[in-house]
Amino acid sequence: MTTGRSSMDLRFDWIGLLFACLLTLFIALPLIVVGTWAFTEVWRYPSVIPQQFGLRFWGQTLARGDVWDALFLSLRLTTTVTILSAVICLPAAYAFARMRFPGRNILFLSFLASHAFPKFGLLVAIAGIFLQFGLISTFWGVVLIQLVGTLMLMIWIPVAAFQNVDRRMEEAARDAGATPLRVFWSITLPQAAPTISAALLLTFVGTFYETEGAWLIGAPEIRTMPVLMISFINNQIVVQYGAVLSVMLWVPSFIALMFARRVIGTGAFARGFGA
């Protein structure tokens, strides 16, 4: 640890360099390997670089209509889930953070259950429920199941964020004539924005890569990108399909990440988290 920016201007950031190197080794190496596989046709031991590069698998992957369908479906689905989740969870989080009502703590904590019970035990029961409502293999069925999965994250993290918003700011806004709703919209929400964006990001990514619920409820009509990926990868001797698909997804992820970082700012990315 350094005492902050003070010691940065003269000394080189050796610690940063160390971290950068170690993380490059630990995090980036597997990524590079995957990236390389995506452009590889033959790569066998003991060659350090692939014996044969090629775009054959890109051609094969990108030429498949279902890949693109699945990608756009996934994006549509994930966006819907994230927005819905925000719409129903943020007010709830605000209520948990700022209001008193009977059973508040118990209700708040019960969201833990959605992450603590192994999923396979739940999904079948949920499928049974969905069947009665004709939600199987429909867009909204998948939305609903994934929505349930986002509840804990989308409530717990924003609760912390709302609790960190200075009450006086809200009071000042009411003093200026804003109704409670307007205060929430114009003051509380923007103040909590950094943490909430982190929660949104986690929700978005988590939902995007969710497979079990999407498969069980969505099959056969709703095939999301990761479900497709799983079927490409599982028991598939050619790892390149999976590699191609993930590399394809990294590029937008990375841009999104960098963009988010700029918008949200350093550190603020994760403020809150109940921590």
Partner 1 sequence: MSTETAPAVSSRHPSITRGSSIGLLLVALPVFLLAWLIIFPIFSAVVGTIFVRGPDGAKEVSLASYRFFFTDGYSLGNLWLTLWTTAVCGILLLAIGLPIALYLRFSQGRLAAYVQALAIFPMFVPSIILAYALIRTIGPNGTVDLLLNSVGLPKLRTPYLTPWGPVIGLVWDNLPLTVLMLTAGLSSISNSAVEAARDVGARPFRVFISIILPRMGNSLLVTASFAVLGIFSAFTLPYVLGSASPEMMGPFMQRTFADMNDPLDAMTQAVITFAFCLVFGIFYIRSIACNREAQL
Partner 2 sequence: MAHLAIEGVSKLFGTSFAVRDFSLEVGDGELVCLLGPSGSGKSTLLRMIGGFERPSGGTIRIDAKDVTTLPPERRPTGMVFQSHALWTHMDVFNNIAFGLKLRRLPKAEIRERVESALALVGLADYSRRMTTQLSGGQQQRVALARSLVLEPKILLLDEPFASLDQHLRERLREEVRDIQQRLGITTLFVTHGQDEALALADRIVVMRDGRTEQIAPPSTIYRQPQTAFVAGFIGSMNFVQGRTRNGVCEHPLFPLAIPIEDGPVTLAARPEALTIRPSDRAEAATVHRIVDFGTHKMVDVDLADGTRLKAMVAPDDRIRAGMRVEPRLASFFVFRDNELAHQSMPAAAKAEIEALQRV
Partner 3 sequence: AAGTIDLYSGSDANIVDLWNNTIRPAFEKAHPGVALKVTDAGDNNGLRAIADRALAALKTKTDPQADLFEVFDPRLPSGGIDAGLWVKFSAENIEAYDHINPLAFDTPYSLPYRGSQVLLAYDTTKLDPKDAPKRWEQLTAWIKANPGQFIYNRPDKGGSGGNFVRRAIHEANGRDPKKFKIDNFTADFATEALTPAWKILNDLEPALYDKGAYTAGNTQSIQLLAQGVVTMVPVWSDQVLQAISQGVLPETTGLVQLTDLALCGGFSGITVFSNGANKDAALKLAAFMLTKEMQEAIITQIGGFPGISWDHISDDLRKKYADVIPSTIPTFPGGDWEKAIADGWYRNVAPGISRT
Q: Which residues bind partner 3 (CB under 8 A)?
A: 41-42, 44-46, 52, 123-124, 127-128, 131-132, 134, 136-137, 212, 215-216, 219-221, 223, 227-228, 230-239
Element (H, E) at 42: strand 40-42
* Spatial distance between the Cα atoms of 139 and 70, rounded to a whole number of angstroms: 12
Q: Binding partner of residue 105 among partner 1, partner 3, partner 2, none, CB under 5 to 8 Å per kind?
A: partner 1
* Spatial distance between the Cα atoms of 146 and 142, rounded to a whole number of angstroms: 6
DSSP state of 187: I
- Write out the binding residues for partner 2, residues 158-217 only, by CB under 8 A: 166, 168-169, 171-180, 182, 186-187, 190-191, 193
- Write out the binding residues for partner 1, residues 163-192 only, by CB under 8 A: 163, 167, 170-171, 180
- Extended strands (E) in the chain: 40-42, 52-53
Tokens 């031991």, located at residue: 45
Rounded to 10 degrees, the C-alpha dihedral 271/226/124/129 comes to 80
Judged by CB under 8 A, the residue of 198, 200, 222, 228 near partner 1 is 198
Question: How many residues form the binding site for partner 2 (CB under 8 A)?
Answer: 24
| Residue closer to partner 3 (CB basis): 47 or 110 | 47
Q: How many CB atoms lie within 10 A of CB 202?
A: 17
Contact 92, 153 (CB under 8 A): no
| Residue closer to partner 2 (CB basis): 2 or 79 | 2
Q: Provide the minimum distance between the beta carbon of 48 and partner 3 in the complex, in angstroms, as a whole number.
A: 14
Judged by CB under 8 A, does residue 265 bind partner 2?
Answer: no
Q: Provide the minimum distance between the beta carbon of 189 and partner 1 in the complex, in angstroms, as a whole number.
A: 14
Q: Which residues are paired to 42 by β-bridges?
A: 52
Contact 191, 204 (CB under 8 A): no
* Residues at the site binding partner 2, with contacts judged by CB under 8 A: 3, 6-7, 9-10, 166, 168-169, 171-180, 182, 186-187, 190-191, 193
